[in-house]
């Protein structure tokens, strides 16, 4: 049943004074200007240029033109009363070749973005890697090449020294399960590699790089708040049959546990996924310790739940997803089920790791087919989705689970990876032909919600 806005009663003050509110974006999805001011080519520039890889033949060449429009968009963030802005740094804009010579124009650009945020009273939160690997490094093997640990650490050090005097909150990586799985196993995201021979080393090197990057940040910026983000989906078995229950456990290990548990010192979930033992082929002495880091916070990013059943024909995992469009449930434009309790279950699940000090929702949102009518976008479904998810987060908080903040995905409609410009997730509508911005009804609602005074 569709959630009605009037059914949801929620207020900012219920979350407490210290709860963090924000909005999230990513460089590749918003900046455009992909080949100016010395920026190098990213794997997504290369991938999008290949026929049939992106829906409708779209590409990120212009996107939202945030590179040139950053002041206008930060002004809109301020107008919407959003106090925290999570955005990413483009690695090939800082290091066009992935390593070696620094592009000063890239440094200068992000200094201007950070300074303008501060001028407007908006706190910048930086993500260091949001999937735009320099193509020059992919040619050398990308995440399958162990040298990437050093390449990434050097890039992190440059950013820490350039921006760390003003940026206090850092996220090392965004959703490693997605950029390794979709990019190095299924091949549906850049760089388009497939198979275990690519996926397993990419997993291991991504975690080693994430930890090495965090240690680099800690060494340069000892007072910084250092975190990283993980995608997650609430997993349920299709039936009470033991085969479906075990299939759901395996899917949970792959989707939700594969990256967080090694970081917490728990190792890879090999009991549920024996194929992960083959990661040993890519391990060196000391790796087990170098997979661990004591992060100040963990960001989790949840949009939906998945229903899983046993599948004899799915290699390695013997599990398959029962597609939401076959389950007679409400869907988003991504064909994801609208299921707000998923976020409650994920907060509860990650609270099961006592090693996690602080937990934020660093992405949550929904894409719907928005329409402009009389210069307005009345996106009631998105507003209802956000409200219902906040209600579930508040439920978790009231039950004593630690949850310290919420960032909406996303500020503006943008380039949504392989789906191109079709799915619209933004609080702000963008006409990609004219770059006109229209604040949607959901954006106005978030503004009013954040305007509520917090009293004790």
**How many folded domains does the chain comprise?**
1
Query: Residues of 90-125 as b/e, b for ≥16 C-beta within 10 angstroms?
Result: bbbbbbbebbeebbeebbebbeebbebbeeeebbbb
Please give the Cα distance from 350 to 48 (Å, whole number).
35
Own/partner pairs, 108-113, CB within 8 angstroms, 24+ separation: 109/37, 109/67, 110/162, 110/163, 111/162, 111/163, 112/70, 113/70, 113/74, 113/87
**What sign results for the dihedral spanned by CA atoms 415, 420, 425, 427?**
positive
pLDDT of 3 = 43
pLDDT in tens, 335-349: 999 999 999 999 999
Q: Which of 99, 337, 363, 416 is catalytic?
A: 363
pLDDT in tens, 179-203: 999 999 999 999 999 999 999 999 9
Instruction: Indicate the average pLDDT of the chain.
Output: 96
pLDDT in tens, 232-243: 999 999 999 999
Structural domain span for residue 56: 5-451
Residue 7 pLDDT > 80: no
Prediction pTM value:
0.97
pLDDT in tens, 125-140: 999 999 999 999 999 9
Please give the Cα distance from 400 to 351 (Å, whole number).
10
Question: Of how many residues is the chain composed?
Answer: 456
Please give the share of the chain, as a percent, with pLDDT higher than 90. Answer: 97
Q: What is the dihedral of CA 413, 415, 418, 424, to 10 degrees?
A: 10
Q: Find out whether 313 and 240 touch, Cβ atoms under 8 Å.
A: no
pLDDT of 1 = 39
Residue 5 pLDDT > 80: no
* Element at 390 (helix H, strand E): helix 380-398
pLDDT of 452 = 83
Task: Check if 175 is active-site.
Answer: yes
Secondary structure letter of residue 337 according to DSSP: B
Beta bridge mates, 299: 229, 360
Task: Provide CB contacts within 8 A for 444, sequence distance 6+.
Answer: none
In a domain, 289, yes or no: yes
Mean pLDDT of 130-155: 98
Lowest mean pLDDT among 2-6, 237-241, 284-288: 2-6
Please give the Cα distance from 104 to 254 (Å, whole number).
40
β-strands 319-322, 225-237: how paired? unpaired
Please give the Cα distance from 434 to 56 (Å, whole number).
19
Residue 6 pLDDT > 70: no
Q: How many CB atoms lie within 10 A of CB 434?
A: 7
Mean pLDDT of 280-296: 98
Q: Find out whether 227 and 299 touch, Cβ atoms under 8 Å.
A: yes
pLDDT of 83 = 98
Q: Find out whether 140 and 72 touch, Cβ atoms under 8 Å.
A: no
Residue 295 pLDDT > 60: yes
Please give the Cα distance from 398 to 392 (Å, whole number).
10
In a domain, 456, yes or no: no
Beta bridge mates, 235: 306
Q: How many CB atoms lie within 10 A of CB 55?
A: 14
Please give the Cα distance from 354 to 187 (Å, whole number).
35
CATH number at 270 reads: 3.20.20.80
Q: Which of 31, 99, 135, 175 is catalytic?
A: 175
Instruction: Look at residues 96, 213, 107 and name the one whose alpha carbon lies nearest to residue 166.
Output: 107
pLDDT-derived band at 218, boundaries 50, 70, 90? very high
438: phi then psi, degrees, rounded to nearest 5: -130, 120
Residue 395 pLDDT > 70: yes
- Start-to-end C-alpha separation, the chain: 36
Q: Find out whether 38 and 423 touch, Cβ atoms under 8 Å.
A: no
């Amino acid at each position: 049943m569709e959630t009605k806005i009037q059914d949801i009663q929620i207020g900012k003050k219920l979350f407490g004074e210290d709860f963090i509110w924000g909005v999230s974006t990513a460089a590749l999805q918003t900046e455009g200007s992909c080949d100016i001011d010395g920026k190098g080519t990213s794997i997504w520039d290369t991938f999008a240029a290949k026929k049939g890889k992106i829906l409708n033949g779209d590409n990120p060449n212009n996107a939202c033109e945030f590179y040139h429009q950053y002041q206008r968009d930060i002004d809109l963030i301020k107008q919407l009363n959003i106090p925290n802005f999570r955005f990413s740094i483009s690695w090939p804009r800082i290091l066009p070749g992935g390593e070696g010579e620094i592009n000063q124009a890239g440094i200068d650009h992000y200094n201007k973005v950070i300074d303008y945020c501060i001028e407007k009273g908006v706190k910048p939160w930086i993500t260091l890697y949001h999937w735009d690997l320099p193509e020059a490094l992919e040619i050398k093997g990308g995440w399958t090449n162990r040298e990437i640990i050093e390449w990434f650490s050097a890039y992190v050090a440059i950013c820490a020294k350039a921006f760390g005097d003003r940026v206090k909150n850092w996220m090392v990586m965004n959703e490693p399960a997605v950029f390794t799985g979709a990019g190095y196993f299924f091949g549906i995201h850049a760089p388009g590699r497939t198979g275990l021979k690519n996926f397993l080393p990419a997993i291991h090197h991504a975690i080693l790089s994430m930890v090495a990057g965090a240690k680099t940040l800690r060494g340069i910026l000892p007072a910084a708040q250092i975190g990283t983000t993980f995608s997650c989906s609430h997993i349920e078995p299709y039936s009470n049959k033991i085969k479906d229950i075990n299939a759901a456990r395996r899917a949970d290990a792959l989707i939700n546990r594969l990256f967080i548990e090694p970081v917490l010192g728990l190792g890879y979930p090999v009991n549920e996924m024996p194929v992960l033992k083959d990661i040993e082929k890519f391990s060196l002495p000391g790796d087990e310790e170098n997979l661990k880091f004591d992060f100040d916070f963990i960001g989790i990013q949840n949009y939906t739940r998945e229903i899983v059943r046993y599948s004899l024909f799915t290699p390695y995992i013997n599990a398959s997803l029962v597609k939401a469009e076959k389950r007679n449930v409400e869907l988003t434009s991504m064909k994801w089920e609208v299921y707000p309790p998923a976020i409650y279950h994920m907060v509860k699940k990650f609270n099961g790791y006592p090693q996690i000090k602080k937990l934020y929702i660093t992405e949550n949102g929904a894409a719907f087919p928005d329409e402009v009518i009389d210069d307005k976008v009345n996106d009631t479904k998105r507003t209802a989705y956000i409200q219902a998810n906040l209600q579930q987060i508040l439920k978790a908080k009231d039950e004593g689970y630690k949850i310290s903040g919420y960032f909406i995905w996303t500020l503006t409609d943008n380039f949504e990876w392989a789906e191109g410009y079709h799915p619209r997730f933004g609080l702000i509508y963008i006409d990609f032909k004219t770059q006109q911005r229209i604040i949607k009804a959901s954006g106005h609602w978030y503004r009013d919600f954040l305007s509520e005074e917090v009293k004790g």
